[in-house]
């Protein structure tokens, strides 16, 4: 089962390496990672999407992460109401004749063209991973030359719904 796990960590050299090394040793598959500074000086937040077998393995991972000196807080966001986004840059084969057609495809996704050259077009899109996958699938017939994705970043919403309402907010189902 896929889980979204966030870590609040000290922004020190080697922290990411220690955390990913721990996951490697325990054989957790990391699907995506995003890391960035927080509102507090010297503190960063890591967001991992990991594949775990069951709740026992998730608990094992959480306990191991909490033992790391630079890790201040570990949170599993998977069953909470969250705000989650990912950024993708997609470079496709293009010429002047199909640019309007591509513009018509990306517009409903609220994506934008960020670079145009003689034979390529670069598109920027943000949103849930499913949205990004859907746009990539639509652009694939034009010939994708390159894709760069940030990985999911997330935090919990200010107000959590009741347990019965949670399924409608899940990103991973």
**Given this model, what pLDDT does residue 75 score?**
94
- Tell how strand 112-116 and strand 144-149 pair up: unpaired
Per-residue pLDDT, 96: 86
List of residues 6+ apart from 2 with CB closer than 8 A: 31, 49, 50, 51, 78, 172
pLDDT given at position 134: 97
Query: Which single residue is written with the structure tokens 């775990």?
Result: 52
Place of tokens 């500074």: 37
The answer to whether residue 172 scores a pLDDT higher than 70 is no
Look at the pTM and tell me if it is higher than 0.85: no
- The per-residue pLDDT for range 60-110, each reduced to its tens digit, is 999 999 999 999 999 999 888 999 999 999 999 998 889 999 999 999 999
Q: How far apart are CA 161 and CA 157, in angstroms?
A: 9
- Output the pLDDT for position 168: 56
DSSP 66-108: HTSTTEEEEEE-TTS-EEEEEEEEEEEE--TTTHHHHHHHHGG
Tens of pLDDT along 129-168?
999 999 999 999 999 999 999 999 998 888 777 666 555 5
- Per-residue pLDDT, 160: 78
Domains of the chain: 2-80 (3.30.70.260), 83-156 (3.30.70.1150)
Report which of 64, 75, 7 is spatially closest to residue 36, judged by C-alpha positions.
Answer: 7
């Amino acid at each position: 089962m896929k889980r979204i796990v966030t870590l609040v960590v000290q922004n020190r050299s080697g922290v990411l390496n220690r955390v990913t090394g721990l996951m490697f040793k325990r054989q957790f598959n990391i699907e995506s990672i995003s890391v960035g500074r927080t509102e507090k000086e010297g503190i960063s937040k890591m967001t991992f999407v990991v594949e775990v077998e069951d709740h026992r393995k998730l608990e094992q991972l959480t306990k191991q992460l909490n033992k790391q000196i630079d890790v201040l807080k570990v949170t599993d966001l998977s069953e909470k109401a969250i705000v989650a986004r990912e950024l993708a840059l997609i470079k496709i084969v293009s010429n002047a004749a199909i640019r309007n057609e591509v513009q018509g495809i990306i517009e409903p996704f609220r994506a934008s063209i960020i670079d145009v050259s003689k034979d390529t077009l670069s598109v920027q899109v943000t949103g849930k991973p499913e949205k990004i996958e859907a746009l990539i699938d639509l652009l694939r017939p034009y010939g994708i030359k390159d894709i760069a994705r940030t990985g999911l970043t997330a935090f919990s919403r200010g107000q959590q719904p009741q347990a019965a309402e949670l399924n409608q907010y899940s990103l991973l189902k």
